[in-house]
Structure 1
Amino acid sequence: MHEATSLYTDRHQLDQSLIATSPLPELKEGEALLRISRLAITTNNITYAAFGDTPHLRYWSFFPTGEERWRQMPAWGFAEVMESTVEGVDVGERFYGFWPVATHLVMQPVRVSPRGFYDGTPHRLELTSAYNQYQRIGTDAAYRAEDEAYQMLLRPLFITSFMLADFLEDNDFFGADQVIISSASSKTAYGTAFCLEDRNDITMTGLTSAANKAFVDGLGSYDRSVDYGDIESLDPEVPTLYVDFSGNDEVRSRIHHHFGTALVHSCYAGSAHSHEHISTSSSTETLPGPAPVFYFAPDQIKKRNADWGPAEVTRRFNEAQLAFIQRVKNPQHPWIDVKSHAGIEAARDLVADLVAGRVEPREGHVVSLD
């Protein structure tokens, strides 16, 4: 193949995409060409796109197109080295990391080590470092070939879940007796509940729709589930911590007004809904209780790297991730039904379905680009 194929997304209408092709360039010294093999495309990617221009995140900036309207949506997955001029990055090696929805990517590997490398392409140096790191599968203690689909689908979400659970524990739940998690059927939400399910001193309450209530109840990680319509049935005197995965202004407002001063902390951890409801500042309403704050996993990772050291952070995360994957793929009661797709066209259709909310919470979608 002598050309790369990419999915370009309309930054203002995320369900609108086009397929672009470009010739593969001649490599310069210090560059490597990787063929992107498999990607997980989930609601998480729609969140990346919806936050694409947010200064703290800048997801549209990782894989620039030079176009104002059409951008490349990032996704997590695996790629193999096709050509390399970089010592220690060898043809045929397979890496896990952050890629565009495309068939190929030219990179500038730096800080090459047994663990992997960072992409030193100049425009990425000012972006969040956690997204610039690429892991060799040969030295990844948590990698299992048979679990590639689950690693793609869950690892980028579970790092948020794991570090969010750690953040809450690290702050003694801000004095709460109850944690309420919205969009309880989303993978990041129930990953957080999974990490906290052995805590007997805190009640985990999942907010969900009537359609997803049976799924949430079946997970077993929440102490109870509550329909969005029944928020006001909850005891308003219980010290409560709200973790917002929905990004829904109305739900947030109802939580704040219902609990008032009993709400001890309110954090926004991402959106499981369509991008129209994603902004934490789209409402001009002044809410009772604590001001909602944005939770950003890399901040807690940085803190724990200082507290524990990076090796111990990785060890703890790998242990938890492996346990989570085993729970999710349990053949007697699987939490995810993996759906496989082939080609950029399938990725385009999948993105449109995700934006429109046409994907069931039990489904996990993986696209092969080989």
Structure 2
Amino acid sequence: MTEVTRLYTDRNDLGATREVIEPLPAIEDGQVLVRIDRLAVTTNNITYAAFGDTPHLRYWDFFPTGEPGWGQMPAWGFADVVASTVEGVNEGERFYGFWPLASHWVVTPVRVTERGFYDGTPHRLELTSAYNQYQRVTTDAAYRPEDEDYQMLVRPLFITSFMLADFLTDNAFFGARRVLFSSASSKTAYGTAFCLQDRQEIEIVGLTSAGNRNFVEGLGCYDRTLDYDAVETLDVDVPTVYVDFSGNDDLRARIHHHLPQTLMHDCYAGSAHSHDHIGARGSQVLPGPEPKTYFAPTQIKKRNADWGPAEVTRRFNEAQLAFIRCIGHPERPWLLVEPHQGVRSAQPLIRALVDGQVDPRIGHVVILG
């Protein structure tokens, strides 16, 4: 193959994309060319794009296009080395990591170890290092070839879920006896509920739309499921933590006004449908605690200090494998994988994700190889 196919996204209209075909680049000393094989494309990717210009995130800066107003949306998945000038990174090796929606990409491996490498391309050095790390599948204790699609679909989200569950536990649920999740049908929300489902002292309540209620109830990880219009039926005397996956200001206001004395903590954990950062649409004064943004790397850093990185990885791998076994259970799967072939196939999918028209039961995988 002598060409690279890329998908560019209009940064002012995330559902608008165009295919770009360019000559395959030649690599220089210290560089590696990979062929991107498969990527998970989910609401998570739309969130990356929506927060692409946020100063501490800067998702658009990972894979620059050089064209004003256009970006390459990042996604998690697997790629194979097709050419290498770097010792310790060999042709044919397979790596999991953060890639653009493209058929090929060039990386500059540094800090090469048995585990993998970091991309040391100069423009990435000032970006969040967790997104610059590429894991060899041969040394990943949680990797299973048959689980690749599920790993792509849930691992980036499940690290947020796992550490969020740990954050809540670490803080003794801020004195609450009930945890209330919005967007309960989102993978990050039910991943967190999965990690908390054995804690008998806490009631886990999922809020969702009427159309998704049967799906959420069928998951079995929430103690109770409510439609959004039933928020005001919640017992006002139960100390509650609100975990916000929706980013819906009106819903947040309803919860604060309904539980003005017993809302112990408001945790903004990411937006499944709205792409406005918390507080960006005004400074609405609410009764109860000020909403706080949860950032998984902060809890990871704390636990690396508490437990050591090896133990954090061991606990996460164990939980992730259990979660994948649950969501991919052959008799009662929580998530069905739907493949899409080629870069172009991602275009209608991205539009549907931006418009909120994707069934939460379906996990979408774009096959590029």
Residues 278/215 of structure 1: CA separation in 2 closer, same or farther (3 Å cut): farther
Alpha carbons 1:274, 1:355 under 8 Å: kept: no
TM superposition shift of 1:279: 4.3
Moved over 4 A (4+): none
What SS class does the counterpart of residue 151 from structure 1 fall into? Answer: helix
Structure 1 Cα separation of the partners of residues 61 and 196 of structure 2: 34
Structure 1 Cα separation of the partners of residues 21 and 303 of structure 2: 42
Structure-2 residue corresponding to 1:63: 63
Alpha carbons 1:193, 1:222 under 8 Å: kept: yes
Structure-1 residue corresponding to 2:151: 151
Structure-2 residue corresponding to 1:129: 129
Structure-2 residue corresponding to 1:171: 171
Structure-2 residue corresponding to 1:98: 98
Structure-2 residue corresponding to 1:22: 22
Alpha carbons 1:181, 1:207 under 8 Å: kept: yes
Alpha carbons 1:179, 1:243 under 8 Å: kept: yes
Structure 1 Cα separation of the partners of residues 117 and 247 of structure 2: 34
- Give the 5 Å matches for 1:19-58: 19-58=19-58
Structure-1 residue corresponding to 2:259: 259
Structure 2 Cα separation of the partners of residues 16 and 344 of structure 1: 14
Alpha carbons 1:207, 1:228 under 8 Å: kept: yes
Task: Normalising by structure 2, report the TM-score.
Answer: 0.98
Structure-2 residue corresponding to 1:319: 318
Structure 1 Cα separation of the partners of residues 240 and 270 of structure 2: 19
Task: Normalising by structure 1, report the TM-score.
Answer: 0.98
TM superposition shift of 1:274: 4.3
Structure 1 Cα separation of the partners of residues 191 and 343 of structure 2: 29
What SS class does the counterpart of residue 318 from structure 1 fall into? Answer: helix
TM superposition shift of 1:26: 1.6
Structure-2 residue corresponding to 1:328: 327
What's the % identity of the aligned pairs? 68
Structure-2 residue corresponding to 1:116: 116
Aligned pair 1:81/2:81, yes or no?
Answer: yes
Structure 2 Cα separation of the partners of residues 109 and 322 of structure 1: 28
Structure 2 Cα separation of the partners of residues 22 and 270 of structure 1: 35
- Structure 2 residue ranges without an equivalent (≥5): none
TM superposition shift of 1:243: 0.4
Structure 1 Cα separation of the partners of residues 292 and 68 of structure 2: 30
Structure-2 residue corresponding to 1:345: 344
What SS class does the counterpart of residue 358 from structure 2 fall into? Answer: coil
Alpha carbons 1:77, 1:152 under 8 Å: kept: yes
Q: Which amino acid aligns with 2:349?
A: L
- Give the 5 Å matches for 1:178-189: 178-189=178-189
- Give the 5 Å matches for 1:181-200: 181-200=181-200
Alpha carbons 2:268, 2:278 under 8 Å: kept: no
Structure 1 Cα separation of the partners of residues 214 and 162 of structure 2: 24
- Structure 1 residue ranges without an equivalent (≥5): none
Alpha carbons 1:180, 1:206 under 8 Å: kept: yes
Taking only aligned residues, the RMSD between alpha carbons, in angstroms, comes to 0.9
Structure 1 Cα separation of the partners of residues 314 and 9 of structure 2: 36
Alpha carbons 1:93, 1:136 under 8 Å: kept: yes
Structure 2 Cα separation of the partners of residues 58 and 287 of structure 1: 30
Residues 274/17 of structure 1: CA separation in 2 closer, same or farther (3 Å cut): farther
TM superposition shift of 1:280: 3.7
Alpha carbons 2:14, 2:354 under 8 Å: kept: yes
